[in-house]
Amino acid sequence: MAGSIFRLPDQAPFGLLARAYPGRFSLSQGLRIEARKRGRMGYRIEPQSGKLLIEHGERSDIMRALGSLLSRPDIKKELGEPPLAFRGLMLDVSRNGVIRVPALKTVLLRLALLGYNRFCLYTEDTCEVKGHPLIGYRRGRYSQRELSELDAFARALGIEMFPCIQTLGHLEQVIKHERYWPLRDNERVLSVEHPRSRKLVETLIRQARKPYQSGLIHLGLDETWGIGRGETFIHKKPMDPRWMYLRHVRWLASVCRRLKLKPMMWGDVVVGCHEKAMDPAQRKALPKGMTMVYWDYYREQAALYEKRIEEYRKMGYEPLCSPGIWNWGCLWPSYRKVSRTLPVFMKKAKEMGIKRMMATAWGDDGQESPFDANWPALCLFAEEAYERADGAEGAKARMRAVCGADYDAVVRVGDLELYPGKESLCGSLGKALLWEDPMAGRISHGLGKLRLSARFRRLAGRIRSDARKMPSDFHDLFAYACALAEFLVLKADIFNETRSAYVRRDKAALRKIASSIPARVRALDDLHAARKKLWFAEFKPFGWEVLDGRFGGLRARLLTMKERLDAYLAGRLPAIEELDEKPAQEFASLAGKQLTHAKLHTASWIH
C-alpha cells in the first residue's frame, strides 16, 4: 500500500495535487476517489467497492482528508470532525519580506492539505492603494491583480482569504512620507483629530477589500502607543487617549456597516496589554458588530488564557483567539516557546468552546527567519485546530507527507539560538552573537568564561547530517542553516578571545586571530550568499537591502578589526582603544530569566 495512487476527480483544484504529488495523486489512474458533500463540518473516509468515498463539508475538509491520504495511504476508515470552524493563518508581509506569488501558492496548497480554511496577509502598506503611489513604494507591495489572483487560487483550495490592514497605529511606513506628515499624531500613529485622516483610512479600507471576495476585514488597531500624546496633545486640556481610540473604532464600525463588511480588530488596547485597560463605560461603548481578536504569545499556564477569554466574554464578545508561531526577531523560529504556549492556548480555547483561532507569523526586525522554517509550527497549529487530541505526533506525520521534510530536523536548527543550559528560556542568542560588533562584544562579555565555538561546531555537524536527508525543496533552507552554524563557530567567541589576549598582551594569540579574520570573512560571505539565495526564492527583492546592510556592516567591522590588530602588532598603533575600555555589565543576567528577544535585539549592534 506504500505505493498507492489515488485517482482524483478531473476538476479544480485536484490537478494541482496531481502535479505537486505525482507519486500519490493522479487524474487518470489509481484507486478512484468519489467526493460527496455532507451537511456538516469535517469528513469521513470509507473504502467501497473499487473506490474510496470521501464525504466532506466545505472544500477545506476534503483537502484535509486528502492530506490524510498523503500521510497514511493504507488508511481504511477515518472520521475528521474539527473542533474549530475558523482555522486561520495571518502572515506578516510588512517587515521587509513580501512573499512571492508563486511561493505563496505553494504555501496555500500545503496549508489546505493541513486543513486551514482562512488566510490573510498582514499589509500595513504592502498592498496597492490607487491614488496613493507612495504607499508601499519600493516596499514590494502586492498589486490589486496579484491579490485577486491569490484570492481565486486560495478559494479553489477551500481557503477564504481576507484583508488584514492597519487603520490607526503601525502606519510608520505610510506617514514617514512628507505627503502624510500632517496626518501624524506621532511617528507610528495617525491623528484621529485631523479631518483628512478619516478620508485616508476609508480609502485604505475600500482598496484593501477590493481584490477579495470575502466580506471579512481585519482593521488592526493594536499597539497604538502614544495616541493623543503627540501632535494632537493640547497643553492643560484634559483628555483620555482611550476615548479618542474608542471614537475612532466606533467610526470604523460605521464605515464597515456601510460597506457591508464584517470587521475584526486586535483586542490588546481594550484589555490593557501594554497600557491601562478600558474602563467599564468605555468597554460598554465598544461597537458590538466588531470581532475581538485575542492575541497572546507568551503565557505558559492555561488558567491565564481562561481568565482572558472569560474577560472578553463578559464584555459581550466571543473572541477569535490567536497564538503565535514565534518566528519574529530571530534567525530561526523559537520552537521551545511554541511548544510551551501554542498547544496550551489552543487546548484551553477548545475546552472553553472557542470555534475560531488564527495563528500569527510576524516578521519583526527584518523578517530574518526564512518562511520554510515555520512548517513545524504551522503543522502543529493545524493538528490542534482539526483534532481534539494532542497534535504533536500527528503534526510530524503530516509535515513529512505534505512538505516532505522531517519535523524534528527543522526544529533542531533552532538550537543555534538557545543559551546552553538555559534552553527553556526564550531568546535569540545566535542572532545576537551574529550581529554584535566584534570589537564591542555587548553580548559576548555577558557570557563570562563561557565559550560557544565547540557547541556551535557540534550543532553544525548535526545540521549537516540532517541536511543530507532533506528533500530538494528544503536544500536551500538547510544550506543556509549549515552556513549559519559554521559562521557562528568562527564568530561566537571572537570578542572574548581577542580582548583576553589583548589584556594579557599575548601578541602571538592576537597575531593568530588577525590572520584568521580573512577566513572568517569568507565564511560570512558564504552565509550572506546562502541567505540571499533563500530570500530571493521566497520573497520579492524589496527588503533584502536591510539584511544586505547588516551583512555588509558586519563584514566591514571584521576588516576594520583586522586592520586595527595588524597596526597594533606592527607597532603603528600604541593601543587599541576599543579593547582598552573595560566592558560594563549591561544586562542584569544574560543567562537568567531576563534573557528575552527584546534584550537581545537591544544588544545587537545593528538594527
Specify the amino acid at residue 353: G
pLDDT band at 606 (very low <50, low <70, confident <90, very high): very low
- Which pLDDT value is given to residue 247? 97
pLDDT at site 607:
39
Q: For residue 531, what pLDDT is reported?
A: 98
pLDDT in tens, 514-546: 999 999 999 999 999 999 999 999 999 999 999
Instruction: Say which residue, 282 or 422, is predicted with more confidence.
Output: 282
Name residue, grid cell 537591502.
545
Q: Report the percentage of the chain scoring pLDDT > 90.
A: 87
Residues 238-255 have a mean pLDDT of 95
> What average pLDDT does range 103-119 have in this prediction?
98
In this prediction, residue 591 carries a pLDDT of 53
pLDDT, tens only, 387-398: 977 788 899 999
Q: Is 114 left (phi over 0), alpha (psi -120 to 50) or beta?
A: alpha
The confidence score (pLDDT) of residue 448 equals 85
Question: Residue 593 — very low, low, confident or very high, per pLDDT cuts 50/70/90?
Answer: very low
Q: Give the β-pairing of 356-361 and 86-92.
A: parallel
* pLDDT (0 to 100) of residue 598: 46
pLDDT at position 600: 53
How high is the pLDDT of residue 1?
A: 43
C-alpha 492/C-alpha 302 separation (Å) is 37
- Check: CB of residue 175 under 8 Å from CB of residue 184: yes
Is the pLDDT at 563 greater than 80? The verdict is: yes
Q: With bands split at pLDDT 50, 70 and 90, how would you rate the model's confidence at 273?
A: confident
Name the grid cell of 128: 496597492
> pLDDT tens digits for 566-576?
999 999 999 99
List pLDDT tens digits, range 193-208.
999 999 999 999 999 9
As a whole number of angstroms, the distance between CA 540 and CA 96 comes to 9
Phi and psi dihedrals of 230, rounded to 5?
-110, -120
Instruction: Indicate the pLDDT class of residue 234, thresholds 50, 70 and 90.
Output: confident
Give per-residue pLDDT as tens, 483-497: 999 999 999 999 999
Strands of 31-37's sheet in order across:
25-26, 6-7, 31-37, 51-56, 43-48, 78-80
Q: How far apart are CA 90 and CA 361, in angstroms?
A: 6
The upper half-sphere exposure of residue 310, i.e. CA atoms within 13 Å in the direction of its Cβ, equals: 8
Q: What is the pLDDT of residues 212-227, one digit of tens each?
A: 999 999 999 999 999 9
**What are 55's strand-pairing partners?**
36, 44
Q: Tell whether the model's pLDDT for residue 605 goes beyond 80.
A: no
Distances (CA, A) of 293 to 219, 223, 317, 322, 524: 11, 13, 10, 7, 41
pTM for the predicted model, two decimal places: 0.96
pLDDT at position 402 is 97
Place of cell 545576537: 432
- How confident is the model over 472-479, as a mean pLDDT? 98
pLDDT at 445: 87
For residues 289-304, average pLDDT: 96
Strand locations in 489-548 (E):
none
Strand boundaries in 81-208, DSSP class E = 86-92, 118-122, 160-161
Mean pLDDT in residue range 433-441: 94
Strands 31-37, 6-7: parallel, antiparallel or unpaired by DSSP? parallel
Q: Is residue 424 predicted with pLDDT exceeding 80?
A: no
CB atoms within 10 A of CB 51: 14
DSSP secondary structure letter of residue 446: G
The pLDDT assigned to 275 comes to 84
pLDDT over threshold 90, residue 12: no
Do residues 135 and 174 lie in contact, with contact meaning Cβ atoms separated by under 8 Å?
yes
Q: What are phi and psi of 490, to 5 degrees?
A: -85, -20
Q: Which of the pair, 551 or 275, is modelled with greater confidence?
A: 551
Grid coordinates belonging to 1: 500500500
- Annotate 313-327 with DSSP letters as a single string: HHTT--PEEE-B---
Local confidence band at 596 (pLDDT 50, 70, 90 cut-offs): low
Q: What is the DSSP letter of 165?
A: -
Q: ∠398-400-401 over CA atoms, to 5°?
A: 65
The strands making up 118-122's β-sheet, listed across from edge to edge, are: 160-161, 118-122, 86-92, 356-361, 320-322, 291-295, 262-266, 216-218
Contact 594, 588 (CB under 8 A): yes
pLDDT of 594 > 60? The answer is: no
Domains located in the chain, CATH noted: 6-80 (3.30.160.230), 86-406 (3.20.20.80), 412-603 (1.20.120.670)
| Whether the predicted pLDDT of 2 surpasses 50 | no
Q: Is the pLDDT of residue 277 over 70?
A: yes
Q: Which residues contact 602 (CB under 8 A, 6 or more apart)?
A: none
For 36, other C-beta atoms within 10 Å of its C-beta total: 10
pLDDT of 597 higher than 80 = no
The mean of the pLDDT values for the chain is 94
